[in-house]
Chain A
């Protein structure tokens, strides 16, 4: 191929694109089919949530945290409510803690099912999308039975949860867990040994361990690169220290490992839900605080949890009034989009799509 005069050209993988998981713009400089330089441009979904939270009471901020990360809205609400309860030193009833863990783990499974469907669709397989969303409907039915909403729940309240579960919840939840456990073999059978899938994802987008730690990458992406760190075990919050579950960890750091790791995590979450259902105590579900006049003492703290995408955190500064002084939201996708140019430069454009899909990025976490 020497002697052929080539020229680099710029391609705009624009904000509206089926594969960019929202509104992320990637300005690609290409040499033929190879990507030479990537520049992510973000801000197309900047809804100024942090400014809005400064003019709302603490109870009014919770539905806004739902929209911060809508695929796992329970985790987003929980991280805020956890920070406020620690600042104000409120003791949450036992039954509320168990219900919170059940909802958080169900939400994690729902998010991984969407990951499964959307990643497969990006790489070209359309059937897993329908399979994943079909099982997710079982989980959404459980949420709708409890709090009435399918996507943005407003379920966690400062001091507990807003509704107790109805009596049909427990048998339906056990049945949903059983069905999802059986369907996992379908999901794996479709893609794991598929030669097209292996060719598209094995050794594609390798993220070395020290690069991952330096760029603040967390969650399944970090665990697929060999670092066995999970906030549920290393820095436990809520009642996670009472449950028995493993942390899966893989060492290659490529897209195939990231995909397999999330399927392993679904299995671990199913175990946690069964243990929580078996140990659910009786009692009340909310320690009521006055939502209009709630004034936590002055102080600041950073609360973080293990979301399905990585570490999600909220830094709250309270000055003793009914409204917070500063609410800084930290989403894991922000760091993942930042590390994308380091991981996907020098590859073909199809590999860029596969890498971006398995990083599991969601744009409201990036733009807020």
Chain B
């Protein structure tokens, strides 16, 4: 991957170097956005809606998204369900095991800010964005499959605005 690392540096010096990087960006982004593989992760009620979205009527496969069982082969974790304080370190560990570029979709009210378990609850993490960095939030309890599909389209749009030189310094 040495050429990829050095390409932004070289193309700065070439007149019109931005165009080389832009075409490469377009190819990378298009391939990444159209084949985002998600991790089979579901804790609570939103997991059933995730399963339904992957089934016959609202198909995930038409967006190029298929499930993988291990985080090493996944691009995105769709965190579906309540995350408790006991489970939070495991979620962080799963996120750390993913290879970059990696994304998180927070599905459902519980992952946004605790949802129906905000008041009077001693064991729920009120929102996951202080555990892992979140890219797309999908509200709902549980969100309809159409909402989840729109969230995934937002993620695809976000991926298409990235550039490969973003992942250099991480």
Contact = CB atoms under 8 A, between A and B. Distances in A.
Query: Interface on chain A toward B: helix, strand, loop, or mixed SS?
Result: loop
Contacts of A46: 84, 86, 123
B120 A55 contact: yes
Given A23-B43, A67-B44, A134-B55, A16 B90 contact: yes
Interface in B35-60: 40-45, 47-49, 51-52, 55-57
A151 interface: yes
A114 B48 contact: yes
A67 B87 contact: no
Interface string A28-68: 00000000000000011111100110111000000110010
Interface string B108-140: 000000001101111110000000000000000
A213 interface: no
B119 A151 contact: no
Contacts, number: 94
B57 A134 contact: yes
Contacts of A15: 87, 90
Contact of A47 (B42, B51, B124): B124
Contacts of B142: 150-152
B94 interface: yes
Task: Identify the interface centre among A16, A44, A363: most chain B CB within 10 Å of its CB.
Answer: A16
A151 B94 CA distance: 28
A71 interface: yes
Nearest to A69: B45
A125 to B, nearest CB: 15
Chain A interface: which size bin?
35 or more
A366 B15 CA distance: 65
A69 to B, nearest CB: 10
B141 interface: yes
Nearest to B88: A44
A137 interface: yes
A51 B120 contact: yes
Given A15-B87, A63-B116, A133 B52 contact: yes
B116 A44 contact: no
Contacts of A364: 44-45
A133 B119 CA distance: 34
A226 interface: no
Interface string B43-79: 1110111011001110000000000010000000000
A52 B82 contact: no
Nearest to A133: B55
B84 A44 contact: yes
B121 A47 contact: yes
Interface in A5-41: 14-16, 18, 22-23
- Identify the 3 closest CB pairs spanning chains A and B, nearest first: A133-B55, A70-B45, A52-B120
